[in-house]
């Protein structure tokens, strides 16, 4: 029995729904079987995190997700000594725990973390697959079912927060984007409970607002925001109120920009 079939036998029936938009599921499975690290890149809210959750459940693997931020240091991933009951004890971080026990460690928005994080990841992303712990003197070898997955949004970076080419070339990569219109309508309808006919103009509006990215707004409307908007409408809120709360206010704080976005919305939403 191979590793993939064994993992599938452990998988639970409650798998987070995910609609593929290419061969990403097969590529993820292959990368896991061949013990290759994986990089996901794409805009905010396009389904990267949902995809990882879906694949972890599909493969029957434990998943540890870390949302990276400016203050996230290597020690937050590897672990540190802490005082417990008057004793100093070593406590594994999420990365170390995953390397010891197996499973997927997912670092979301890796470019937000401090630079020392990349140094820790490098020996895990080549043929060594090791995690040196300088504080404990250990050198952990990753088990066959350990997988490192990281993600970032290449459209929302500056020179100080770009992923170095030397780091990117350590990963197999999958590029994500928003789903085609028909698929996105179906997904939003299922997730929100709103019928597809009423979801359709919301997806049309999202497409128009996404085309403004880089001009009036920094980010486009995510599929996540579309689901929120549709859920508000399904709960009885008017379409205009829901669009303002879930699709316009999150995009900008500038009154002039918001007024312009409302005009765009008025041309689509009845």
Asked if residue 103 lies in contact with residue 64, where contact means CB atoms within 8 angstroms, the answer is yes
134 and 51 in one domain? Answer: yes
pLDDT digits (tens, 9 = 90+) for 31-65: 999 999 999 999 888 999 999 999 999 999 999 99
Last residue of a domain, one of 138, 159, 175: 175
Residues 66 and 164 placed together within one structural domain of the fold: yes
pLDDT at residue 10 is higher than 70: no
Residue 129 pLDDT exceeds 50: yes
Say if CB 152 and CB 107 are below 8 A apart: no
Query: How far apart, in whole angstroms, are the C-alpha atoms of residue 73 and residue 59?
Result: 29
Residues 49 and 154 in one domain: yes
Mean pLDDT confidence for 195-207: 97
Which pLDDT value is given to residue 2? Answer: 52
pLDDT of 158 above 80: no
How many whole angstroms separate alpha carbon 224 and alpha carbon 236?
Answer: 19
Q: Give the whole-number percent of the chain exceeding pLDDT 70.
A: 93
Provide the pLDDT for residue 85: 82
Residues linked to residue 172 through DSSP beta bridges, in sequence order: 38
Local confidence band at 155 (pLDDT 50, 70, 90 cut-offs):
confident
The reply to whether 76 and 200 lie within a common domain is no
Task: Answer yes or no: is pLDDT of 217 > 50.
Answer: yes
* Same domain (yes/no): 59, 136: yes
**Which of the two residues, 106 and 166, has the higher pLDDT score?**
106
Q: Which of 123, 147, 175 is the last residue of a domain?
A: 175
DSSP assignments along 196-255, one per residue: HHHHHHHHHHHHHHHTTBTTTBSSPPPHHHHHHHHHHHHTT--HHHHHIIIIITTT---H
Supply the pTM of this predicted model.
0.87
Residue 235 domain boundaries: 181-266
Q: Which helix (H) or strand (E) holds 166?
A: helix 165-168
The count of structural domains within the chain is 2
> Does 113 lie in the same domain as 223?
no
Task: Identify whether residues 239 and 222 lie together within a single domain.
Answer: yes
Q: Of 142, 175, 208, which residue sits at a domain end? A: 175
Which CATH number fits the domain that encloses residue 28?
3.40.50.300
Mean pLDDT within 195-204: 97
């Amino acid at each position: 029995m191979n590793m993939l079939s064994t993992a599938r036998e452990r998988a639970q029936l409650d798998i987070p729904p995910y609609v593929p938009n290419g061969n990403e599921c097969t590529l993820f499975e292959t990368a896991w079987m061949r013990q290759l690290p994986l990089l996901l890149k794409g805009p905010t809210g396009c389904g990267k995190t949902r995809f990882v959750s879906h694949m972890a459940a599909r493969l029957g693997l434990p998943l540890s997700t870390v949302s990276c931020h400016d203050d996230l240091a290597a020690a937050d991933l590897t672990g540190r000594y802490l005082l417990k009951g008057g004793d100093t004890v070593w406590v594994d971080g999420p990365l170390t725990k995953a390397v010891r026990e197996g499973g997927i460690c997912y670092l979301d928005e890796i470019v937000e973390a401090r630079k020392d994080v990349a140094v820790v990841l490098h020996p895990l992303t080549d043929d060594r697959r090791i995690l040196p712990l300088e504080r404990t003197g250990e050198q952990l070898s990753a088990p066959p079912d350990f997988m490192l997955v990281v993600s970032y949004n290449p459209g929302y970076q500056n020179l100080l927060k770009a992923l170095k080419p030397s780091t990117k070339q350590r990963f197999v990569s999958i590029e994500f984007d928003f789903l085609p219109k028909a698929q996105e309508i179906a997904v939003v309808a299922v997730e929100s409970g709103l019928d597809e006919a009423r979801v359709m103009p919301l997806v049309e509006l999202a497409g128009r607002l996404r085309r403004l990215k880089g001009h009036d707004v920094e980010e486009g409307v995510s599929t996540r925001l579309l689901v929120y908007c549709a859920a508000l409408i399904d709960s009885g809120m008017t379409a205009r109120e829901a669009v303002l709360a879930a699709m316009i206010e999150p995009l900008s704080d500038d009154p002039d920009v918001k007024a312009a976005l409302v005009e765009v919305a008025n041309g689509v939403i009845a």
